């Protein structure tokens, strides 16, 4: 179990290395740019605050991009990454903020319990006991964080998993989550940060202080493997859940006036995948103009053929594909029986 997840953490990254490189190169360069020119300056908040906000947004898109490529493969996002914000990114940010509040609450409650313990057993306290208490507080906080973290890969692949679901799904995997989401990533980050951080510091000291911009590359590289560990832990837990514990969310795909196709709850089909498959098919017929390109609706046209289009819409967990004056879609989901509920 542990061995497989740690193996897949590295294997999945190397398997999708080309897609990850293309999708993350621009966000990484932007982070380097902000690092180079935008060090936080309390005397220049008009510049510092926008840079902080943009840095947060970029890091969110890096996380979502990495999760999607590792879990849904490269066709799940545009080749050069995500550049349009959607409700997915908003939900990811709000969940991150909510997790931060939960962690603070856990820390406060744990600290209150410790203070009560100290008040009742003052005579028994010594430096060793105090150290044990600190370790206990950190363990409690990190344990809660690890068990709630699988909402993030779920959000990234458009699955509806709440913090409550995450807590319930991980009830039999407490130690697994702690090891693969907290301990291993921490050790990996330390192992890479120490030597490469030392090299960057030397370059910054000997050549230019702006060489610290290379920390952005190092941080993104480390984060890819941390995210991969989370993705593969999520994948393992979801794959091994009893069916009765899974919150079932079904999706249907309706093509023109044909009977709707119902997809399994664990299907990797989503709006972006369908759009990619439709684009791949109809671009060969010179349909290149996206007259509508929104988060939940999309229309593709051929400028040389009037009254002809392909449209895709997502509404109430249902996908609607409509074509007019053009051949019918040939979707891969129609060729895979395991993605369809009979």
What pLDDT score does 337 carry? Answer: 43
d(CA 181, CA 217): 22
Give the tens place of pLDDT for each residue, 52-106: 888 889 999 999 999 999 988 767 777 787 777 778 888 899 999 999 999 898 8
Neighbours of 184 (CB within 10 A): 19
d(CA 247, CA 253): 20
CA 235 to chain centre: 13
Question: H helices of 209-304, where?
Answer: 215-239, 271-282
Nearest 10 degrees: CA dihedral of 331, 332, 338, 339?
-50
Look at 163 and 205; give whichever has higher pLDDT. Answer: 163
d(CA 248, CA 254): 20
Report the half-sphere exposure of 298 (CA within 13 A, side-chain side). 22
Query: Which position has the token pair 């380097």?
Result: 32
Query: Which position has the token pair 């393992």?
Result: 236
Task: Read off the pLDDT band of 11 (50, 70, 90).
Answer: very high
Residue 244, SS3 per DSSP = helix
Nearest 10 degrees: CA dihedral of 76, 160, 257, 328?
10
Task: Read off the pLDDT band of 245 (50, 70, 90).
Answer: low
Average the pLDDT over 196-209 and give the result.
83
d(CA 2, CA 233): 9
Residue 249, SS3 per DSSP = coil
Joined together, the tokens standing for residue 206 give 């000997």
d(CA 300, CA 289): 6
d(CA 299, CA 313): 9
How many residues can be counted in the chain? 342
Range with lowest mean pLDDT among 104-118, 124-138, 154-168: 124-138
User: Which residues are within 8 A (CB) of 13 and not within 5 positions of it... i.e. 6 or more apart?
Assistant: 20, 70, 224, 225, 228
Q: What is the pTM of this model?
A: 0.71
Joined together, the tokens standing for residue 216 give 């952005």
Joined together, the tokens standing for residue 63 give 């996380």
What pLDDT score does 320 carry? Answer: 87
CA 137 to chain centre: 27
What pLDDT score does 147 carry? Answer: 92
Task: Read off the pLDDT band of 124 (50, 70, 90).
Answer: low
Neighbours of 78 (CB within 10 A): 16
In the chain, the N- to C-terminal Cα span, in Å, equals: 32
Look at 325 and 337; give whichever has higher pLDDT. Answer: 325
∠ CA(76), CA(80), CA(86), 5° rounding? Answer: 60
- The helix or strand, by DSSP H or E, that contains position 330, with its residue range, turns out to be none
- DSSP structural state of residue 262: E
Task: Read off the pLDDT band of 338 (50, 70, 90).
Answer: very low
Give the tens place of pLDDT for each residue, 301-336: 988 888 899 999 887 768 889 988 888 888 776 555
User: Which residues are within 8 A (CB) of 81 and not within 5 positions of it... i.e. 6 or more apart?
Assistant: 22, 23, 24, 25, 26, 27, 61, 65
Give the tens place of pLDDT for each residue, 160-175: 788 998 999 998 899 9
DSSP tally for the chain: helices H, then strands E:
11, 6
């Amino acid at each position: 179990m542990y061995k497989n997840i740690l193996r897949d953490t590295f294997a999945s990254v190397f398997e999708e290395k080309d897609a990850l490189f293309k999708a993350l190169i621009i966000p990484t360069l932007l982070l380097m740019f902000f690092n180079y020119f935008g060090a936080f300056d309390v005397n220049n908040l008009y510049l510092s605050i926008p840079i902080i906000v943009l840095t947060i947004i970029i890091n969110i898109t890096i996380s979502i991009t990495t999760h999607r490529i590792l879990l849904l493969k490269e066709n799940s996002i545009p080749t050069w990454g995500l550049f349009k914000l959607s409700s997915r990114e908003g939900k990811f940010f709000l969940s991150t903020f909510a997790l931060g509040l939960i962690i603070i609450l856990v820390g406060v409650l744990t600290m209150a319990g410790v203070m009560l313990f100290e008040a009742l057993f003052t005579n028994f306290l010594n430096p060793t006991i105090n150290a044990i208490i600190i370790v206990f507080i950190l363990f409690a906080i990190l344990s809660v964080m690890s068990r709630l973290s699988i909402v993030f890969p779920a959000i990234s692949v458009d699955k509806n998993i709440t913090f409550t679901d995450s807590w319930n799904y991980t009830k039999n995997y407490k130690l697994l989550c702690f090891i693969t989401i907290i301990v291993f990533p921490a050790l990996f980050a330390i192992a890479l940060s120490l030597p490469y951080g030392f090299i960057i510091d030397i370059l910054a000291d000997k050549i230019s202080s702006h060489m610290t911009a290379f920390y952005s590359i190092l941080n993104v590289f480390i984060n890819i493997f941390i995210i991969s560990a989370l993705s593969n832990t999520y994948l393992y837990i979801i794959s091994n859940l009893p069916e009765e514990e899974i919150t079932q969310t079904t999706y249907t795909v309706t093509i023109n006036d044909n009977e709707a196709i119902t997809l399994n709850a664990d299907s990797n089909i989503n709006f972006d995948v369908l759009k990619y498959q439709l684009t791949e098919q109809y671009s060969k017929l010179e349909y290149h103009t996206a007259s509508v390109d929104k988060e939940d609706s999309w229309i593709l046209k051929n400028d040389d053929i009037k009254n002809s289009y392909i449209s895709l819409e997502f509404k109430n967990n249902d996908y609607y594909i409509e074509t007019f004056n053009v051949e019918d879609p040939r979707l891969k989901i129609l060729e895979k029986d395991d993605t369809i509920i009979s």
